[in-house]
Structure 1
Amino acid sequence: MTRTDSPARTAGTGRLSRSLSGRAHRVVFGVNADAAIDLELPYITVIDEAHLIMLTERQLVDTGAAARLLTEIHELRVTGFAPLRGRPAPRGVYLLYEDHLIDRLGMRVGGVLHTGRSRNDLKATMHHMRLRELVIGALHGLLRLQALLLSRARRFRTVVMPAYSQFQPATPASYGYYLLGVGESLGQDILGLWQACEGLGQCPLGAASGGGTDVAIDPARTAALLGFTTPVSHAGYAVASRDTAVRLLSACVLASLTLSRLCTDLQLWSTHEFGLVGFPDSLVGSSSAMPQKRNPFLLEHIKGGAGALIGAWTAAVANIKNVPFGNSVEVSTEAVASIWPAIDRFTGMTELAVSVVAGAQPCQDAMLRGADEGFTVATAVANRLVAQGVPFRIAHRVTGRLVTELISEGVHKPSTVDICATGQRLGDLLRSEGVATPVDLTGADLDPVAVLAATDFGGGPGPRSFAAAHDRLAAAWRSHTREVAAWSDRLATAETERNEAVRQLGGYT
Structure 2
Amino acid sequence: MIADNLHDASVFPDPTYKETVLRPLFEGAKSHHVEGLRRIDRAHLVMLHETGILTVEQARPIAEALEAIDREVDVGALTYTGEVEDFFFLVEKELRARLGPDLAGRLHTARSRNDIDHTLFKIGLKDRIDPLLERLVRLAETLAAVAERESGTLIVAYTHGQPAQPTVFGHYLSAVLETLLRDIARLEAARDIVDRSPMGAAAITTSGFPIDRELMSHLLGFSRPLENSYGCIASVDYITSTYSAIALVFLHLGRFIQDLQFWTSFEVGQLYVPNAFVQISSIMPQKRNPVPIEHMRHLASQTVGRAQAMLTIMHNTPFTDMNDSEGESQGFGYGAFESGGRVLDLLAALVPALRIDAGRVRQNIRRSCITVTELADSLVRREGLSFREAHEIAAEVSRAVVAVGGDIAADGYEAFQEAFERCTRRRTVIDKALFAEIVSPEAFVAVRNRLGGPAPEALSRAIAGYRQEIAEIRTRMQEAARRAEASARDLQVRFTALLGGR
Mark yes or no: TM-score above 0.5.
yes
Partner of 2:403: 408
Equivalent-residue separation in structure 2 for 1:485 and 1:45 (angstroms):
25
- Aligned with 1:393 (options 383, 388, 410): 388
- Structure 1 position 358, deviation (Å): 2.2
Q: Partner residue of 1:47? A: 40
Q: Is residue 255 from structure 1 mapped to residue 249 from structure 2 by the alignment?
A: yes
1:308 to 296, 302, 315: 302
Of the candidates 346, 351, 361, which is equivalent to residue 340 of structure 2?
Answer: 346
| Larger displacement relative to structure 2 (117-126 or 399-408) | 399-408
Query: Number of paired residues?
Result: 489
CA contact 1:277–1:360 (8 Å) conserved in 2 = yes
The whole-number CA distance in structure 2 between the counterparts of 1:414 and 1:423 is 10
Query: Is this contact kept in 1: 2:196–2:223, CA < 8 A?
Result: yes
Does residue 153 in structure 1 map to residue 147 in structure 2? yes
The answer as to whether partners of 1:32 and 1:87 remain within 8 angstroms in 2 is: no
Residue 315 of structure 1, CA deviation: 2.4
Residue 217 of structure 1 corresponds to which residue in structure 2? 211
For residue 214 of structure 1, give the secondary structure of its aligned residue in structure 2.
Answer: coil
Alignment partner of 2:453: what SS? coil
Letter of the structure 2 residue corresponding to residue 265 of structure 1: D
Residues 161 and 370, structure 1, Cα contact 8 Å, conserved in 2 = no
Q: Which residue of 2 aligns with 1:492?
A: 485
Match of 2:474 in 1: 481
- In structure 1, what is the equivalent of residue 428 of structure 2? 438
Q: 2:6 matched to which residue of 1? A: none
| Range 317-326 or range 152-161, more displaced | 317-326
Q: Is the 8 A contact 2:377 2:390 kept in 1?
A: yes
Structure 2 gap ranges (5+)? 1-8
Task: State yes or no: 1:85 paired with 2:88.
Answer: no
Shift of 1:507: 6.3
Matched, 1:378 2:372: yes
Specify whether residues 118 and 418 from structure 1 end up closer, same or farther in structure 2 by C-alpha distance, changes over 3 A only: closer
The Cα offsets for residues 280-321 of structure 1, whole Å up to 9 and x where unpaired, read as 232222334433333222222222123223322332233222
Correspondence for 1:452:
445
Task: Give 1:28-427 correspondences, 5 Å limit.
Answer: 28-30=21-23, 33-78=26-71, 81-82=74-75, 85-89=78-82, 90-333=84-327, 335-387=329-381, 388-411=383-406, 413-417=407-411, 419=413, 421=414, 423-427=416-420
- CA distance 1:205–1:81, change in 2 (3 Å): farther
Q: Structure 1 runs of 4+ off > 4 angstroms?
A: none
State the alpha-carbon separation in 1 of the partners of residues 463 and 72 from structure 2. Answer: 50
> What do the CA deviations read for 1:184-204 (whole angstroms, capped 9, x no partner)?
111111111111112122100
Aligned match of 1:5 = none
Amino acid at match of 1:483: R
Displacement of 1:33 in angstroms is 3.5
Task: Tell me the distance in 1 between the aligned counterparts of 2:486 and 2:289.
Answer: 47
Q: 2:33 is paired with a residue of what secondary structure?
A: helix
Q: 1:418 to 1:58 in 2, by over 3 A?
A: closer
Residue of structure 1 in register with 2:465 after alignment: 472
108-117 vs 134-143, greater mean Cα deviation: 108-117
**Counterpart Cα distance in 1 of 2:25 and 2:331:** 18
**Distance in structure 1 (CA, Å) of the matches to 2:221 and 2:130:** 14
Identify the residue that residue 3 of structure 1 maps to in structure 2: none
Contact persistence 1:157–1:176 (CA under 8 A):
yes
CA contact (8 A) 1:125 1:205 kept: yes
Using the TM superposition, give the Cα deviation of residue 170 of structure 1 relative to its aligned residue in structure 2, in angstroms: 1.0
116-125 or 28-37, which moves further after superposition? 28-37
Percent identity of equivalent pairs: 25
User: Quick one: distance in 1 between partners of 2:479 and 2:101?
Assistant: 41
Q: 1:495 to 1:399 in 2, by over 3 A?
A: same
Query: In 2 relative to 1, CA 67–296 (structure 1 residues): closer, same or farther, beyond 3 Å?
Result: farther
Secondary structure of the corresponding residue to residue 318 of structure 2: coil
- For 2:458, the aligned partner's letter is S
Q: Tell me how far 1:424 sits from its aligned partner.
A: 2.1
Distance 1:83 1:177 in 2: 51
**1:7-22 aligned within 5 A:** 18-22=11-15
Amino acid at match of 1:405: A
Query: How far off its partner does 1:505 sit?
Result: 1.2
- How far residue 38 of structure 1 moved from its aligned partner, in angstroms, is 2.5
Cα distance, 1:438 vs structure 2: 2.4
1:24 maps to 17
Please say if residues 287 and 295 of structure 1, whose CA atoms lie closer than 8 Å, have aligned partners that are also in contact: yes
Would you say the 8 A contact 1:159–1:367 is kept in 2? no
| Secondary structure at 1:487 match in 2 | helix
Following superposition, the deviation at residue 371 of structure 1 comes to 2.7
* 186-195 or 98-107, larger mean C-alpha shift: 98-107
Deviations 1:165-191 (A, max 9, x none): 111111110111111111111111111
Residues 216 and 396 of structure 1: CA distance in aligned 2, closer, same or farther (over 3 Å) = same
- Is the 1:207–1:235 contact (alpha carbons within 8 Å) kept by the matching residues of 2? yes
Q: 1:32 to 1:354 in 2, by over 3 A?
A: closer
CA positional deviation for 1:508: 8.0
8 A Cα contact 1:375 1:414, kept in partner: yes
Q: Is the 8 A contact 2:380 2:386 kept in 1?
A: yes
Q: Does the Cα contact within 8 Å between 1:260 and 1:303 map onto a contact in 2?
A: yes
Question: Match for 2:142: what amino acid?
Answer: L
Q: 1:131 to 1:213 in 2, by over 3 A?
A: same
TM-score, length basis structure 2: 0.92
How far, CA to CA, are the matches of 1:87 and 1:417 in structure 2? Answer: 80
> Which residue identity lines up with residue 181 of structure 2 in the other structure?
G
CA displacement, residues 438-495 of structure 1 (integer Å, 9 cap, x when unaligned): 2425122111012111111252101121012111111111101110111111101101
What is the TM-score normalised by the length of structure 1? 0.91
Q: 1:63 to 1:371 in 2, by over 3 A?
A: farther
Separation of aligned partners in 1, 2:61 and 2:265: 66
Native 8 Å contact 1:424 1:439 kept in 2: no
RMSD across aligned C-alpha pairs, in angstroms?
Answer: 2.2
